[in-house]
Structure 1
Amino acid sequence: MPALWPALASMTLLQAVVSLALFAPGVLAPRLGIGEGAVSTFVFGCFATAIFGALQGGVLVGAIGSFRVATGCMVAVAGAMFLGMTGSTAALLAAGLVLGLAFGPETPASSALLSRLARPEQRSLVFSLRQCGNQIGAITGSLTLPVLAMVDPRSGYALIIGIAGIAALLFAAQSRHYDPLVREASHGLPLRKALRLLSENARLRRLAIFSIPLSALQLALNAYLVTFLVGTLTLDHVTAGIVLGVAQAGGLAGRLGWGFATVRLAPTRLVAFIAIGSGIFGGAMAILPAGTAPALLAAVAFGFGLTASGWNGVFLGEVATCAPAGRAGEATGAVLTASYTGLLLGPGLIALLSAISGLRLAYLFLAAAAMLVGLWLLRLRNEGSDKHPTL
């Protein structure tokens, strides 16, 4: 059996690069003169294709292997960033559609491989560590892209293209060792079968429902926080990028900390607390006034990231545990269909609420939805409706 940790490191890098590409337009938007509507178009395009990419990620893994899928994802990232350089709304939509071809399959590809390499008792921690790639990419983008944008926003896209090229070469070199483990072991999942899998498995269904509002709130944090800080709280662009970096540092701490917390807390209770916390910190961010003390702003941003961007590892680890034997990639694709629904509807909802009363209203609405899900999960647990000891 090939070693777990090199595969984990590479799959973490895969997510980091995809994450960096996803955050790029939101961070570069103010300097390119891109408004919230154009950013929403990019995000909508990404998650529109990501849904189908996630559902078919299993068949890609079964046909060519996880690392060859990862290599293809890097090609899609490079293509999306090339399209994004123009800054027009049409080009951003095209960039989003292409990026979705990377964003959709990368998680099922990782789940199929890591679920075979990790022992059951390792999975929550392994998936939490892997999900740290999201924060690594976001922190890298938060600290580097605003500085590059001051010189030429297009240089930020060029940097991501270069990183994707290097990662593609690394993944291609590893495919010979790891891809035979998952070839012909995963299958595509049509939408009808995905919905059937969720309807037949109550634990997967609850995880899917839980993920919808938290996915939308996480999107609001990752894609719109810089725009909110610059446009509503009147911060300069570099300072706003630093605040986003603080939030992503909170997400990194959360993904590590929540993974270790599963040793003592059942996942249902843990995700309920995370959801409630994300509602509290998301609502707090929404009501901060312009001129807020930097220490308070940083504390709220860290807590926002800790909760709204720190839940994914525990979530995906539990999905792999709940999945039928040998079908972790398919189960992940099925559950991510619900998650991506939140991500797909989020941009339109955020744009609508922002048009009515600014981004404050959007953050308040999504924070309230996340808190309601947390309370709902606690009620299920307190009523003893979960027969499984962990969910």
Structure 2
Amino acid sequence: MTGAGGQHTDSPAGGPAASPWGVLAATTAVQALISMAALTPPVFAAVATREVGLPASFVGYYTSLVYLGAMLTSLISGSLVGRFGAMRVSQVCLLLCGGGLAVLAATQAGPLLALAVAGALVIGFGYGPVTPASSHILARSTPAHRRGLVFSLKQTGVPIGGMLAGAAVPPLVLWGDWRLAAMAVAAVAAVLALVVQPARPGLDADRDPGRSLRAAGVLGPLRLVWRHRPLRLLSLASFTFAAIQLSLASFLVTYLVQRVGLTLVDAGLVLAVAQGSGIAGRVVWGIVADRWCGARVTLVGLAVVMAAAALAAGWLFPLLPLAVIVAVAAVFGATAIGWNGVFLAEIAHLAPSGRAGEATGGALFFTYGGVVCGPSLFGVAVETLPGDYGAAFTAFAVAALAGGVLTLRAGGGRRQTEDRQS
């Protein structure tokens, strides 16, 4: 554990605190596996939907269902972390995501199509609390001057998971089938839940087993975020950024296969490049925000670039050679996937003392709301607007710019030191 100044202290249990780099590695690994689990179905969607009789556009609804589940559990994550401990919550999240993939693997044509909906929701229930849990751990162990970098490093787990899904799932599908791919990722998630167990006692030493899990407390994170203008406007901006990020992750492979004419393997590799660029972007933007521009200016710049990349993807990809598609996808990924660490670090900075996990849960309710609405609206735009994917990417470019405006209006708000009653 660290004190207010970021200095190493003993854990509440009396033993030495875990290594800060070990804590970062553990939280990043959990984030990566949960991200991989959530993004595995969109990668094999072109094959799976055809086999079970679902339309290809179901991938958008799948993503919305995942994040609908995540919205619900993010609101109770603060209470769960307080009572059971952040690492225990993270372990349960891994098991839920693996279980959701197992349910999806059992989906069949006919009445068993309902399993696709159930599996997506279970994955979402596991996805929701993991970021508030890791924010709780890192807020205790990270000095202020390194917050942007450390949170960004941890958030590289999301694109790492997407990169792993894009690189590993297509070969598994070709070697076996999409059901095998789902079960393989589920097994890895379960193994990781066991691997992090030795770190659990130290990281969960601050838990309060007697903490109440009252239903009334569900609205506390929302009230916390809505009362503070900078938290509120940044959370609304994250709604638009998340809509773009998950639409990119959900539709890129299907778009490249069905409209651009790439093979499934090439399309998966393009997704892997986009996710890999997101990894680099999260680290770079964290450093930029900490050392030079600050969080607000960094987020506004990312909004402008992701809007330009969305326009290029929608209108130019069918005309471009693969090498240029890869380059544009890299820029798109670095911005549309790279913003999260800076955003979460700023939320933790603005949160009242000791309530970073709760504030993160409230902010992520809006973030996940963008994910729930975004891919479904993207799918509707593709199916109904003239210009299909071009029109859909244009609409989301406008959304990115709107997020930049909200970020500008958020101001530079100082950290709130009052711990007000929810």
Question: Structure 2 length normalisation: TM-score?
Answer: 0.87
Aligned to 1:178, which of 197, 203, 216? Answer: 203
SS of alignment partner, residue 41 of structure 2: helix
What are the residue-to-residue correspondences of 1:27-106 with 2, within 5 Å?
27-32=43-48, 33=50, 35-88=55-108, 89-106=113-130
Contact 1:76–1:102, Cα closer than 8 Å, also in 2: yes
What are the residue-to-residue correspondences of 1:212-227 with 2, within 5 Å?
212-227=239-254
What are the residue-to-residue correspondences of 1:1-391 with 2, within 5 Å?
1=1, 2=17, 3-32=19-48, 33=50, 35-88=55-108, 89-151=113-175, 152-183=177-208, 190=217, 192-262=219-289, 263-357=291-385, 358-378=388-408, 380=409, 386=412, 388=414
Contact 1:276–1:375, Cα closer than 8 Å, also in 2: no
1:39 CA displacement = 1.7
Amino acid at match of 2:63: V
Amino acid at match of 1:292: L
The Cα offsets for residues 151-181 of structure 1, whole Å up to 9 and x where unpaired, read as 3111211221121111110222221121013
Q: Using the alignment, how far apart are the partners of 1:375 and 1:280 within structure 2?
A: 16
SS of alignment partner, residue 163 of structure 1: helix
Deviates more, 1:120-129 or 1:170-179: 170-179
Normalized per residue, the structure richer in helix is 1
1:204 CA displacement = 0.6
1:194 CA displacement = 3.1
1:291 CA displacement = 4.9
The Cα offsets for residues 221-243 of structure 1, whole Å up to 9 and x where unpaired, read as 11111011111111110000011
1:44 CA displacement = 2.1
Contact 1:187–1:330, Cα closer than 8 Å, also in 2: no
Contact 1:23–1:141, Cα closer than 8 Å, also in 2: yes
1:47 CA displacement = 1.2
Contact 2:101–2:119, Cα closer than 8 Å, also in 1: yes
Contact 1:112–1:182, Cα closer than 8 Å, also in 2: no
Q: Using the alignment, how far apart are the partners of 1:57 and 1:365 within structure 2?
A: 33
Aligned residues: 385
SS of alignment partner, residue 145 of structure 2: helix
Q: Using the alignment, how far apart are the partners of 2:192 and 2:373 within structure 1?
A: 31
Contact 2:307–2:401, Cα closer than 8 Å, also in 1: yes
Structure 2, unpaired ranges of 5+: 2-16, 416-422
- The 1:90/1:61 distance shift into structure 2, 3 A limit, reads same
1:289 CA displacement = 4.4
Q: Using the alignment, how far apart are the partners of 2:164 and 2:210 within structure 1?
A: 35
Cα root mean square deviation, aligned: 2.0
- The 1:57/1:195 distance shift into structure 2, 3 A limit, reads closer
1:75 CA displacement = 1.0
- The 1:23/1:186 distance shift into structure 2, 3 A limit, reads farther
Q: Using the alignment, how far apart are the partners of 1:212 and 1:13 within structure 2?
A: 25
Percent identity, please: 34
- The 1:284/1:87 distance shift into structure 2, 3 A limit, reads farther
1:314 CA displacement = 0.5
Amino acid at match of 2:21: W
Deviates more, 1:330-339 or 1:365-374: 365-374
1:207 CA displacement = 1.1
Deviates more, 1:122-131 or 1:359-368: 359-368
Contact 1:11–1:110, Cα closer than 8 Å, also in 2: yes
SS of alignment partner, residue 326 of structure 1: coil
Amino acid at match of 2:276: A
Question: Structure 1 length normalisation: TM-score?
Answer: 0.93
1:360 CA displacement = 2.7
